[in-house]
Amino acid sequence: MISIRGLRFQYKGAKRAALDNINLDIADGDFVGIIGTSGAGKSTLTYALNGIVPHHFTGDFYGQVLVDGMDTVDSSPEQLSAKIGSVFQDIDAQMVASLVEDEMAFGLENFGVPRAEIGGRIDEALAMVGIGPLRYRMIRSLSGGEKQKVAIAAIVALRPSIVLLDEPTGELDPQSSRHIFSMLRELNERFGLTIVVVEQKIMLLCEFVRKLVVMEQGRIAHAGAVREVLAHSDEMEAIGVNVPRVVTLANRLRAAGLYDGPLPLNIDEAEVMLKTILSTDYAD
């Protein structure tokens, strides 16, 4: 469980706060996507969750962030990493070993996991992420999507309850991006991990996450279930966040009084919506 109350953070020397009056709860087992334009504060919010803010970046910090009951100000990022595992944007910089197995063992050793347990923990995490066959591969021989999965498996091996990812598909093509999100859904639904992901690709978020947080200039502009948030598509477009065209179409049809059913998030659902609307022409 994550609970953020009245959070404000201003980097030292910055003219304005990177985070301003943030209030947010994330329940255990939730799958949350964070979206917003460049500079909106998405990465800073992830730093506030894993303790990098305020421990590694100096600045003015107000408010409270609790991660599974641990106050991020009173706990070190190392202590917090037992609860919340972070996969950063630059995974190449995060990886230290040449071999997949060694990369995973490195994190576990650092975490103080007894040697006898390490092999089993690596097996478990590779299976959860669905990349068992990559265990003995050289990391430099992997595709971008495979590397991303290894980075995620290395974090999952530490058995956090929350996995936090900052743009995990930034470098990936559409198909590999979907693979990453399918895998995150599996971790969420099958293994109960709470997933919090910063992502620019709105279609992926609409398809996979349950809740959306939209950020604008350090604040939360909207937060809630995906369809609830997308009902505000005009406001999202106004702050520079593109929404799927099917959503804009549905919201306009709603505003015109032509439709009051559920918001479609993809072409199939849009087809159902249009059939519902058009069928009224033929009703007696």
Instruction: State in angstroms the smallest separation of the CB of 167 from ligand ATP.
Output: 7
Amino acid at 235: E
Nearer Cβ to ligand ATP (156/180): 180
Query: Which amino acid is located at 42 in the chain?
Result: K
39 binds ligand ATP (CB under 6 A): yes
Q: Which of 2, 24, 35, 40 binds ligand ATP (CB under 6 A)?
A: 40
Considering the complex, what minimum distance in angstroms separates the CB of residue 162 from ligand ATP?
19
Q: Is 188 in the site for ligand ATP (CB under 6 A)?
A: no
Q: Is residue 33 close enough to count as binding ligand ATP by CB under 6 A?
A: no
Among 175, 183, 192, CA closest to 150: 183
Residue 42 interacting with ligand ATP (CB under 6 A): yes
- Token duo for residue 271: 């087809």
Of these, 2, 4, 7, 18, which contacts ligand ATP (CB under 6 A)? 18
For ligand ATP, the closer CB: 65 or 153:
65
**CB 239, min distance to ligand ATP, A:** 12
Does the footprint of ligand ATP cover residue 175 (CB under 6 A)?
no
Largest CA distance in the chain: 74
Q: Measuring CA to CA, how many Å separate 205 from each of 127, 211, 223? A: 24, 9, 13
User: Taking CB under 6 A as the rule, does residue 36 contact ligand ATP?
Assistant: yes
Q: Check residue 201 for interaction with ligand ATP (CB under 6 A).
A: no
- Which part of the chain contacts ligand ATP (CB under 6 A), choosing from 33-41, 116-124, 243-251, 253-261? 33-41
Q: Which is nearer to ligand ATP, 8 or 137 (CB)?
A: 8
Whether 29 contacts 191, CB under 8 Å? no
Query: Taking CB under 6 A as the rule, does residue 11 contact ligand ATP?
Result: yes
Catalog residues that contact ligand ATP under the rule CB under 6 A. 11, 14, 18, 36, 38-44, 57
